Amino acid sequence: MIDFLQIVIYGIVLGSIIALGAIGVSLIFGILRFAHFAHGDLMTLGAYFALAGVAGMSLPMFAAFGLALGATALVAVGIDRALYSRLQQVSPIILLISSVGVALMLRSLIQMIWGPDNEIYQSGISMPWTFAGLRIQPTQVMIVGGAAGLMLLLHLFLQHTRFGKAMRAMSDNPDLARLSGINTQRVVILTWIIAGVLAAAAGIFLGMDTRLHPIMGWKLLLPVFAAAIFGGIGKPYGAVAGALVIGLAQEMSTLILPAAYKPAVAFALMVIILVWRPTGIFGGKVL
Amino acid sequence: MTLLKAEELYGGYGGGDILNGVSLRVDAGEVVVIVGPNGAGKSTAMKALFGLVNVRSGRVTFRDEEITRLSPDRIVGRGVCYVPQEANVFPSLTVLENLEMGAFIRRDDYSAQIERVFELFPPLKEKRSQAAGTLSGGQRQMVAIGRALMLDPKVLLLDEPTAGLSPKFIDLIFERIQEINATGVSILMVEQNARHALSLADRGYVLVLGANRYEDTGPNLLANREVAEMFLGG
């Protein structure tokens, strides 16, 4: 029983990280109608920006994290302005392919600047807290709390602000949004800022949970897409639910399968949902 | 006074021309109806007024200022609002949020305008917190018209506002359109229910193949035997 609960904790931690990425993928699909394959490497970039703050500029943890969120959002907007916005008139498949190119560029850039080795934010071992036999790391509390906080902020933004509602409106019906007078270009930029911030947070949390490596985000891309599709792509709330399912399923699979099969579990779930219900459990768009 | 005017428009959606020299005019306070056979370019002519068509030649003016190549989000700011025939609500947004999106460019307090829309369409007040996608066709049409009224437009463009509605709702929507017109909003609409629409129109246009065929007052068009035989089903 303790083992099972311990795995549930790991699953929730992993699910929180996946959720931050999946929300971004889902929002971008809702607004721009293409699957953003560079999202994993955007997460990696965020993680390394934070490393530059902590190790390079010896900033305090939280300042470095804040800086990394901002810098990643800036890069995301920059990529959109330089590349994606110019390709918007062509078919979505070309945007998708170009995002694969962006993914490769980002990854190579990270490898050139920071090298191919593993990195960590803080050396030394922190002692876990123990509750009735359950071991919980302080970083795990920070990850789940931080992710929940960011999701709450996003929820408040989407439900209660003028531009948040405009973002949902544009995801619903882009033509009607335009002829209602909504400034759709500003909504697009805002989407990239939010997706960039959430991707950076996911990368940083992943780095805190394990370690930093130039392909850390790329490896998480599959579960991120599985979660976004599971929840119904274009539906940020569905993405959160999907992420928890994928995170828990991946961790629980270690009870019966070798840990190396974790990505296969996400892949299998994605295939099942695509066959059984291509619009996801919350009825999103079809990829 | 002429508000909205199109002069000899030619153009389409990128392929061949759908509009072949159509001219339209909406004066202050008028209800103007466009009728004509299928494929006459009625909806396209209306969309051309709203910057949704590639106009190759000709010009569109609003209060004597040229708006031919302005994008729709600029045109709404001038006071011309448009209700498409299909996909004219945000289905996952609530009724109230749909209205708020109609007022997106307004930075002042528009709560009075929301109340006015609720007075015009009382069922919307009850369902204000319900997602627009869950409403009936007639109620969705109310949301769509309400959204376009949020900017307090000078001219309202309606593309087949009664298409697919039950007879009960058709009468109700026509009645409300007259009420909206009575508050000083000029109306241009494309309608399949040609007889009903022309009976309440100040003026009407009959378009054929993207060009004007007849232009007259609503009653005169209804009384015109040629028009009646050819386009109003005898």
Q: First CA to last CA across chain A, in angstroms?
A: 39
At residue B38, the pLDDT reads: 84
Which residues on chain B are in Cβ contact (under 8 Å) with A181?
72-73, 76-77, 104-105, 151
Per the model's pLDDT, the better-predicted residue between B233 and A234 turns out to be A234
Which residues on chain A are in Cβ contact (under 8 Å) with B72?
178-179, 181
Burial of B125 (0-12, 13-18, 19+ CB in 10 A): middle
pLDDT-based confidence at residue B229 (cuts at 50, 70, 90): confident
Residue to test with chain B: of A162, A180, A279, most B Cβ within 10 A: A180
- Which stretches of chain B sit within 8 Å of chain A by CB? 50, 52, 71-73, 76-77, 82, 84, 87-93, 97, 100-102, 104-105, 147, 151
Nearest by CB: B101 against A169, A171, A175:
A169
Rounded average pLDDT over B28-57: 93
Q: How large a percentage of chain B has pLDDT more than 90?
A: 84
C-alpha neighbours within 13 Å on the C-beta side of residue A250: 29
pLDDT-based confidence at residue A283 (cuts at 50, 70, 90): confident
Whether the pLDDT of residue A5 is over 70: the answer is yes
Per the model's pLDDT, the better-predicted residue between B232 and A39 turns out to be A39
At residue A286, the pLDDT reads: 65
Tokens 């204000």 sit on residue: B128
Which residues on chain A are in Cβ contact (under 8 Å) with B76?
179-181
Whether the pLDDT of residue B234 is over 60: the answer is no
Whether the pLDDT of residue B14 is over 70: the answer is yes
All domains of chain B, ordered by start, with CATH?
Answer: 1-78+191-234 (3.40.50.300)
Structure tokens at B165: 């509605």
Structure tokens at A218: 């790329």
All domains of chain A, ordered by start, with CATH?
Answer: 2-121+137-276 (1.10.3470)
User: pLDDT tens-digit profile of A160-187?
Assistant: 999 999 999 999 999 999 999 999 999 9
Radius of gyration of chain A (CA): 18
A105: CB partners within 8 A, 6+ apart: none
- The percent helix, strand, coil of chain A (3-state, each to 5) is 75, 5, 20
Residue to test with chain A: of B104, B105, B106, B140, most A Cβ within 10 A: B104
Q: How large a percentage of chain A has pLDDT more than 70?
A: 98
Quote the ipTM score.
Answer: 0.91
Residue to test with chain B: of A176, A184, A188, A282, most B Cβ within 10 A: A176
Three-state DSSP state, A146: helix
